[in-house]
Amino acid sequence: MEPKQLFHFNRSLLRSKKFLMGVGAAVAVVVLLLAIWLPAQQLPELLSMSDVASGITHGQITSIEDSLATGEMTLHYTGGRIAKALRDTSAPLVQQLSYLGISPQELTGVQIKIEATDTAMTVSRGIGTVLSVAVIAFLAFMAVRTLRTSGPARQKKFEEGIIPDVHFYQVAGMDENLQELKDVVTFLKEGDKYTAMGAKMPRGVLLVGDPGCGKTLIAKAVAGEAGVPFFALSGSEFVEVFAGVGASRVRALFEKARKKAPSIIFIDEIDAVGRERHNGSSGAEMEQDQTLNQLLVEMDGFSSTENVIVLAATNRMDILDPALTRAGRFDRRVFVTRPDIKGREEILKIHMQGKRISPDVSLSNVARATPGLVGADLANIVNEAAIIAVRADHSMVEMGDFEEAVEKNLTGGVQRKNSLMSAEERRIVAYHEAGHAITMHATRLSDPVYKITIIPRGAAGGYTMSLPVEDTMLHSKNKILARITGLMGGRAAEEIFFHDVTSGAANDLQVATQLAEEMVMRLGMDSATGLRVYPQQQGYAALAAPHNSQKTSESIDEAVKNILDSCYSQARQILSEQCAYVERVANELLEVETLSRDEFVRLMNAPILNHEAKLKVFNTVEIG
Ligand code: ADP
Ligand code: ZN
């Protein structure tokens, strides 16, 4: 949420109340008069709702008489043609039309008359009904309108075709990630230079990260820096609409963006349309298919000189259809991660600009108290602190106001509560990740540890990343074993330091099991089961395939178990011997949350002091 939005929202609410009363009364009067003076006509031709929608889009329909009770509508066309249509009575007409892709703006040219059909009704009852009906219809119209502009859960507003006044300096804590996007900016600004050189423009960039991490902000900043118009739509808008609407909206958006090229198209929540296709035949899936196809068609249709770049945001890259990430489409990606302590401090700083902040406010303490929170949360906290300060009649925002705002944020939303770990959980995650890092570091064939973090990401409490020095084609048995040992390091550390184990190793164990099964069943790397390859099939294929004999199955299971067990005991051994280093790395992680390769190596190379060398064993903790 933007810092000033809360105040802004209040003001506009006041304004819209007056507006609402005025317009409401006017609509009611008009509807009333029309309802009294224009009786319903019985006419033969019956059109479908999509005919009605296309009539409106093409400006052929001048007015609609809508009978709320029966759902019967009388349509007046230009040139005097009159037709009838039936709609579903469970939802207001305006809402149904919006499902068919008719925006409230398009409806402004159409007179909608709402009728009470019961002619036997007394006049007074008629007036009462019509009035309430008018009010309901008007409220429904307003509701649809607000829904359409802001979305139900998040207050995002995309102004189409505007050059956003957002710049890179307003995006904090992601300097490394911005490089790829700076390239995009250069392409947009100096496209001619590149095309003259024969270089191909990037087509699509995928921004991957959790909600609220600033993906939309970054996309806007790219457009702002390049000084080009910004067009946006959200994938979730298409989830429940009728067939064809998504595709036509995509087409329309690309058309507009092309006309204003160079420009940026931003597609939020692309996973809603870009989910991997499964040839499903439900209406929703077919709709998703059509929308996705249209998107692919549009992207492939760019000519090499067209300066339109599509940025798309998702937090689920794993479920995207491979067609989307193919070369020439979204072939570049930028990871927008949750900010670490330093990043959080910078974000707070950005959002404090223009606010009166007392000198006693320590940003680093606020940052320290908010592990796991994203930019949107922090922006919210700053705004909340300002409101609390006003309420408390402070002349400046004080540290106490911040503390209250943080507390409010943490105890507020359910979602945010999840992302914030308890102190004990954080400690367990820190030891778990340190365990991975140190087993990897200690096994010669493991890939070097590249980054360790205890900032939660998705379902994971933290992660340790290793990167191969060079691409390898062949994987040796010992290398795979080293990898499994590294995966076991997390669980082993929990057991050594906490005398208990948590569900945090679930994914590690799954990957390790898969690797071990590969070794045994496909790579002939186990001496007991030998060189034979065993078919590995899942689902229906597995049921149909010939079964391995009982004995074979047992020996495969046994071999897989042996591999996992021996890797686990090796990890335990390493960590017991190096427990002082585990302590050191875990404590550092608790302090700074993220360690780069250099920082990690420095910690591992510093000599162990005497007092560190003792193995500290924690009391058993209970984990919920
Ligand atoms: P997403 O698109 O990833 O869900 P948004 O871009 O909508 O996130 O972020 C919401 C708001 O949070 C932004 O408008 C901005 O005020 C704030 N915000 C998020 N990340 C950052 C950041 N890195 N620096 C500054 N502000 C941020
Ligand atoms: Zn792990």
Contacts (Cβ under 8 Å, ≥6 apart) of 414:
none
CB 214 within 8 A of CB 350: no
Per-residue pLDDT band at 282 (split at 50, 70, 90): low
Whether 132 has a pLDDT exceeding 70, the answer reads: no
- Catalytic positions are 433
Measured from the Cα of 346, ligand 1's closest atom is: 24
Q: How close is the Cα of 351 to the center of ligand 1, in Å? A: 10
C-alpha count within 13 angstroms, C-beta hemisphere, residue 97: 26
Measured from the Cα of 2, ligand 1's closest atom is: 16
Per-residue pLDDT band at 368 (split at 50, 70, 90): confident
Predicted local confidence at residue 351, as pLDDT: 92
Predicted local confidence at residue 271, as pLDDT: 84
Residue 144: exposure state from Cβ atoms within 10 A (0-12, 13-18, ≥19): buried
* pTM for the whole structure: 0.54
Q: How close is the Cα of 439 to the center of ligand 2, in Å? A: 12
Q: How close is the Cα of 109 to the center of ligand 1, in Å? A: 37
Which ligand is nearest the CA of 269, by number? Answer: 1
Whether 442 has a pLDDT exceeding 70, the answer reads: yes
Q: How close is the Cα of 373 to the center of ligand 1, in Å? A: 11
Which residue has the CA at smallest separation from atom 11 of ligand 1?
376
Q: Which position has the higher pLDDT, 25 or 178?
A: 178
Nearest alpha-carbon partner for 589 in 462, 416, 418, 403? 462
DSSP three-state, residue 11: helix
Predicted local confidence at residue 446, as pLDDT: 86
CA dihedral 33, 38, 39, 43 (to 10 degrees): -140
Q: How close is the Cα of 216 to the center of ligand 1, in Å? A: 7
Q: How close is the Cα of 436 to the center of ligand 2, in Å? A: 7
CB 419 within 8 A of CB 456: yes
Contacts (Cβ under 8 Å, ≥6 apart) of 227:
163, 189
pLDDT digits (tens, 9 = 90+) for 515-560: 999 899 888 888 888 888 877 655 555 555 556 677 888 888 999 9
Which ligand is nearest the CA of 512, by number? Answer: 2
Residue 113: exposure state from Cβ atoms within 10 A (0-12, 13-18, ≥19): buried
Residue 76 CA to residue 203 CA, distance in Å, equals: 45
Which pair of tokens denotes residue 359? 């000198």
Predicted local confidence at residue 596, as pLDDT: 87
Predicted local confidence at residue 153, as pLDDT: 38
Residue 196 CA to residue 191 CA, distance in Å, equals: 8
Q: What is the arithmetic mean of pLDDT over 139-167?
A: 58
Residue 338 CA to residue 567 CA, distance in Å, equals: 32
Query: Three-class SS string for 368-437?
Result: HCCCCCCHHHHHHHHHHHHHHHHHCCCCCECHHHHHHHHHHHHHCCHHHHHHCCCHHHHHHHHHHHHHHH
Q: How close is the Cα of 72 to the center of ligand 2, in Å? A: 61
Predicted local confidence at residue 366, as pLDDT: 87
Which residue has the CA at smallest separation from atom 9 of ligand 1?
214
Q: Which position has the higher pLDDT, 203 or 616?
A: 203
The β-bridge partners of 451 are 465, 596
CB 191 within 8 A of CB 262: yes
Percent share of the chain, pLDDT over 70: 71
Q: Which position has the higher pLDDT, 451 or 98?
A: 451
Q: How many CB atoms lie within 10 A of CB 51?
A: 15
Per-residue pLDDT band at 79 (split at 50, 70, 90): confident
Sheet holding 308-314, edge to edge: 230-234, 263-268, 308-314, 204-208, 332-335
Measured from the Cα of 170, ligand 1's closest atom is: 25
Which pair of tokens denotes residue 623? 């984990």
Which pair of tokens denotes residue 256? 């507009």
pLDDT digits (tens, 9 = 90+) for 467-516: 666 656 678 889 899 999 999 999 999 999 999 888 888 889 988 998 99
User: Which of 1, 213, 409 gets mutated to test ligand 1 (max ligand atoms within 8 A of its CB)?
Assistant: 213
Predicted local confidence at residue 559, as pLDDT: 93
Q: How close is the Cα of 432 to the center of ligand 1, in Å? A: 30
Measured from the Cα of 218, ligand 1's closest atom is: 6
Which residue has the CA at smallest separation from atom 16 of ligand 1?
2
Which ligand is nearest the CA of 383, by number? Answer: 1
Which ligand is nearest the CA of 338, by number? Answer: 1
User: Which of 217, 363, 455 gets mutated to test ligand 1 (max ligand atoms within 8 A of its CB)?
Assistant: 217
Contacts (Cβ under 8 Å, ≥6 apart) of 407:
none
Predicted local confidence at residue 421, as pLDDT: 66
Sheet holding 449-453, edge to edge: 463-466, 449-453, 594-596
Ligand 1 neighbours, Cβ below 6 Å, are: 2, 171-174, 209, 211-217, 313, 347, 350, 375-376, 379
**Sign of the CA dihedral running 380, 383, 389, 395:** positive
pLDDT digits (tens, 9 = 90+) for 114-128: 765 444 444 555 566
DSSP three-state, residue 543: helix
Residues in the chain: 624
How high does pLDDT run on average in the chain? 76
CB 239 within 8 A of CB 286: no
In the chain the first and final C-alpha atoms are separated, in Å, by 33
Predicted local confidence at residue 160, as pLDDT: 74
Contacts (Cβ under 8 Å, ≥6 apart) of 280:
286
Measured from the Cα of 209, ligand 1's closest atom is: 3
Q: Which position has the higher pLDDT, 124 or 570?
A: 570
Predicted local confidence at residue 129, as pLDDT: 60
Which ligand is nearest the CA of 490, by number? Answer: 2
Which residue has the CA at smallest separation from atom 12 of ligand 1?
376
Measured from the Cα of 343, ligand 1's closest atom is: 23
